[in-house]
Amino acid sequence: MFIHLSPKTPKPSIRLEDLRASTAEKLSLLRRSPLSIPNTDYTQMLSELAAEQSFEGTYFNIDELTVNGQYQCLVELSTSPATVCHGTGISCGNAQNDAAHSALQYVKIMASIN
C-alpha cells in the first residue's frame, strides 16, 4: 500500500540569538519568572511564548517508561538551531509539562545571555 503525504508547510522559526533583543511581553515575563512555582501549567506558558515569538513546540510521547516507571516526553522547538528538551512524569501530561518546563528554562537562559 502506498500513501502519499503532502509536503509539510515549513514551521515558523526564530533564531535563538534574536530572542536576546526581544522586549515582547511573554519573553520579558519569562526572564523575570523563577520557573519554580508548583502546579504551573508550563505547556500553556510555552504555547503562549511560542505564539508570541513565532515558533512551534511539538511534543513526542516516548512509549518506554523510565527505570523508575515514569512517562517520558520530548518537546521540539522550531527554533534555529532546533531545540529538543526531555521531560518525565507520573502521566503523559505531567511528562509534557516537565518537557515544557525544561524548554522554558533553556529559552530563558538563551534569551538572557549577553
Please name the CATH architecture into which domain 16-32+40-112 falls.
2-Layer Sandwich (3.30)
> Are 112 and 33 a contacting pair, CB within 8 Å?
no
Whole-number pLDDT of residue 1: 39
pLDDT at residue 11 in the model: 67
Model confidence, pTM: 0.88
**pLDDT tens per residue across span 8-67:** 555 677 888 888 888 999 999 999 989 998 899 999 999 999 999 999 999 999 999 999
CA torsion sign for 112, 21, 17, 8 is positive
**Residue 64 corresponds to which cell in the numbers above?**
518506554
pLDDT tens per residue, range 82-111 = 899 999 999 999 999 999 999 999 999 999
